[in-house]
Amino acid sequence: MNCRFCKNQLSDILIDLFNSPASNSFLTREQLNEPEVFYPLKVFICNKCFLVQIDEYKKSDSIFNNEYVYFSSFSKTWLEHSKAYTRMMVERFHLDKNSKVIEIASNDGYLLQYFKELDIPVLGIEPTANTAKVAIEKGIPTLVAFFGRQLARQLKEDGKSADLVLGNNVLAHVPDIIDFVGGLKIVLNPSGIVTMEIPHLMELIRNNQFDTIYHEHFSYLSFYTVRNIFRTLDLEIFDVDKLSTHGGSIRIYAKHSDDSSKEISNRVEALINEELEWGLTKMDTYLNFTQQAFTIKIDLLDFLLKCKSTGKKVAAYGAAAKGNTLLNYCGIKSDLIDFVVDRNPNKQHLYLPGSHIPVVDETHLKQSRPDYVLILPWNLKSEIIEQLKYIAEWNGKFVVPIPRLEIIND
């Protein structure tokens, strides 16, 4: 395999999570009796540009298909985050009814709805037809397509270039990152702004977040590497924010390199220096990651086996992609976890890929009254603990597996 960015031949491995099904390939009851496809889940490090990446074993057009099960609007925390972002962008960059906002990977319109409420023209670009359909029903114009240079040229020819182009948690999802960033350059107005929110590689390594590795995520990004990619495509990052979302993310702000109207923030060099000091451009930094993941695996299996041997019942909450990576890496099946609760009706009455744990609604949790609830989307643990605080009525406890196994009484 060659690096997606610099084309250097890859040989250094960050972690091998072995074979796993695609994280969002949920199964029907009938499919439980059919063969299930597993793909390698091996992560490489480029020792030249330090882009961390997996091979495209599972093609993107088959992952992001017409039956995609992730809908952004089911997280209250994420909606609040999106609304705050909208307000901040409007105030900082003076967006109004004469501006144009394009969101790439706009999902079900979770974010663009807030720009629409302010009468700011919007356009969503979303490759999954079922989520795009929900956005369109909200009155948000949405193209069902993958974004890249070809679509960007078409949009520009149609007079649909943008003053703000945004993408949240999409840059990691694209197999051809050069084509994607090149498309941003084309569709952006001369004085326009690009913002991208990206899970931060430094936090992934620091906090043992190996479960955020799955086939949908082709790249795992440091600020150092992202800035170099954007510079190669003649875009300059002029500011960056640190965010708490997804276990630690960054939001980058980019402009055309020849746009002199925006000063480069001191935060840019500060974060580059922080990453260099932490060692993200040194191969030694990545050496212990496999052992850190293995420790979590052993601790979680030990906990579940003790629960089983003592007659304790364990359920999970949140049929998230990261949870499927964790469960499949650990080899956990429905004999150790009875069921997983999820608010999304598109996931209910299905089964998790690989582990075959049934997905149910919250009523099932109240009826079953498990001793422990394992929170799989640990990045939303505060929201989930508040939502499910009633499990204290039967002395239920929460369990969080990442960055280390933690049992929470309330």
Residues 6 or more apart whose Cβ sits within 8 Å of residue 21: 36, 37, 38, 39, 324, 328, 353, 354
The yes-or-no verdict on residue 58 having pLDDT over 70 is no
In a domain, 30, yes or no: no
What mean pLDDT is predicted for residues 162-174? 96
Q: Give me the number of domains the chain comprises.
A: 2
Q: What is the pLDDT of residue 409?
A: 78
Residue 8: count of CB within 10 angstroms of its CB: 13
Per-residue pLDDT band for 61 (boundaries 50, 70, 90) equals low
pLDDT tens, position by position, 355-401 = 999 999 999 999 999 999 999 999 999 999 999 999 999 999 999 99
Mean pLDDT check: name the lowest of 57-71, 121-135, 262-276, 324-338: 57-71
Residues 6 or more apart whose Cβ sits within 8 Å of residue 374: 314, 315, 316, 317, 337, 399, 400, 401
Q: 310 and 243, same structural domain?
A: no
Domain endpoint, select from 286, 306, 340: 286
Per-residue pLDDT band for 75 (boundaries 50, 70, 90) equals confident
Q: 295 and 258, same structural domain?
A: no
Q: What is the CATH number of the domain that holds 353?
A: 3.40.50.720
Q: What is the pLDDT of residue 72?
A: 84
8 Å CB contact between 167 and 198: no
Q: What is the pTM of this model?
A: 0.93
> Measured between alpha carbons, how far is 400 from 271 in angstroms, rounded to an integer?
29
The yes-or-no verdict on residue 140 having pLDDT over 80 is yes
Q: 295 and 404, same structural domain?
A: yes
> Measured between alpha carbons, how far is 28 from 353 in angstroms, rounded to an integer?
10
The yes-or-no verdict on residue 335 having pLDDT over 70 is yes
In a domain, 53, yes or no: no
Domain endpoint, select from 286, 319, 354: 286
Q: What is the pLDDT of residue 67?
A: 67
Domain endpoint, select from 241, 256, 286: 286
The yes-or-no verdict on residue 200 having pLDDT over 80 is yes
Q: 278 and 135, same structural domain?
A: yes
Q: What is the pLDDT of residue 66?
A: 53
Q: What is the CATH number of the domain that holds 239?
A: 3.40.50.150
Q: What is the pLDDT of residue 283?
A: 96
Instruction: Provide, rounded to the nearest whole percent, the portion of the chain with pLDDT above 70.
Output: 97
Instruction: Provide, rounded to the nearest whole percent, the portion of the chain with pLDDT above 90.
Output: 92
SS3 352: coil
Size (the chain), residues: 410
What mean pLDDT is predicted for residues 272-278? 98
Q: 258 and 318, same structural domain?
A: no
Q: 264 and 151, same structural domain?
A: yes
8 Å CB contact between 337 and 374: yes
In a domain, 346, yes or no: yes
pLDDT tens, position by position, 285-304 = 999 999 999 999 999 999 99
> Measured between alpha carbons, how far is 97 from 27 in angstroms, rounded to an integer?
44
In a domain, 7, yes or no: no
Q: 210 and 146, same structural domain?
A: yes
Residues 6 or more apart whose Cβ sits within 8 Å of residue 370: 313, 314, 315, 338, 391, 396
Q: 232 and 117, same structural domain?
A: yes
What is the side-by-side order of every strand in the sheet holding 188-199?
A: 142-143, 122-125, 101-104, 162-168, 188-199, 249-256, 235-243
In 3D space, the residue among 232, 271, 225 whose CA is nearest the CA of residue 248 turns out to be 271
What mean pLDDT is predicted for residues 112-120? 98
Full domain range(s) for residue 360: 290-408
* Burial status of residue 33 (CB atoms within 10 A of its CB: 0-12, 13-18, 19 or more): exposed
The yes-or-no verdict on residue 57 having pLDDT over 70 is no
Q: 282 and 309, same structural domain?
A: no
Q: Peptide bond preceding 403: is omega within 30 degrees of 0, i.e. cis?
A: yes
The yes-or-no verdict on residue 238 having pLDDT over 70 is yes
Q: What is the pLDDT of residue 71?
A: 87
Q: 273 and 239, same structural domain?
A: yes
Q: 103 and 234, same structural domain?
A: yes
Q: 294 and 281, same structural domain?
A: no
> Measured between alpha carbons, how far is 253 from 239 in angstroms, rounded to an integer?
5
In a domain, 58, yes or no: no
The yes-or-no verdict on residue 337 having pLDDT over 80 is yes
Residue type, 40: P
Mean pLDDT of the chain: 95
Residue type, 122: V
